[in-house]
Amino acid sequence: MALFQTQTAPPTHSYGFSTKTRSHSPMVLSFHSPPPSQLVTHSSVKTQQRNSLFSFQNTPLSLSTVTRKLLCRPPQGKHVREDYLVKKVSAQEVQELVKGERNVPLVVDFFATWCGPCILMAQELEMLAVEYESNVKIIKVDTDDEYEFARDMQVRGLPTLLFVSPDPSKDAIRTEGLIPLQMMRDIIDNEM
């Protein structure tokens, strides 16, 4: 009784490879060329390319050739405008505010202009500034401009908020990352 059965495949007339297997012999591969009627010539390929829907006839593809109507003037790359309630301050100004006499809590926002969550946090801090008016002082520090100060304050993630109480006996509260508006309200109302 034979353990192996031999199978021989008849030669095929299609594209690709056909295999012939024999008992105890390596596989033999042979390539069959397509019939002459199915050959594609170089000139027919050029014709198909010219008739393509997505072809451009000697038109350079450039965005500068497209005219656009602007609805408004584009921003100048600043996410912190001068008329916001939350002001951008320097490291020296922050140190003066922390060491000086205050009767309201101080919220320091460490941010960067390229940071997406920082921009969202800026919107929440603006709403908080409107809500608390003069009962809370909220300021911003750009960590790109004040790199040494951010390093000294051990800012590792952005945005980082520092809540400083007017009472010098209380410790400052620090948060990292985007936090909800209600959490900021709770810290200001209950912890300061």
What's the confidence (pLDDT) of residue 192? 87
Q: Is the pLDDT of residue 133 over 50?
A: yes
Write down the pLDDT at residue 140: 95
What amino acid positions are annotated as catalytic residues? Answer: 115, 118
pLDDT value at residue 80: 46
Q: Is 4 helix (H, G, I), strand (E, B) or coil?
A: coil
- What strands, in cross-sheet order, belong to the sheet with 137-142? 87-88, 137-142, 106-111, 160-164, 173-176
- In this predicted model, what pLDDT tens digit does every residue of 52-99 receive, in sequence order? 444 445 555 445 555 666 566 655 555 545 557 899 999 999 999 999
- Predicted local distance difference test score (pLDDT) of residue 20: 47
- What pTM does this model have? 0.58
- Quick one: what percent of the chain has pLDDT higher than 70? 57
Amino acid type, 192? M
- Where do the H-state alpha helices sit in 11-115? 42-50, 91-99
Compute the mean pLDDT over every residue in the chain, rounded to the nearest whole number: 75
Residue-wise burial string across 5-27, b where 16 or more C-beta atoms lie within 10 A, e elsewhere: eeeeeeeeeeeeeeeeeeeeeee
Q: In this predicted structure, what is the pLDDT of residue 68? A: 60
94-124 pLDDT tens trace: 999 999 888 999 999 999 999 999 999 999 9
Give the pairing of strands 137-142 and 17-20: unpaired
Q: ∠ CA 69-74-79 to the nearest 5 degrees? A: 160
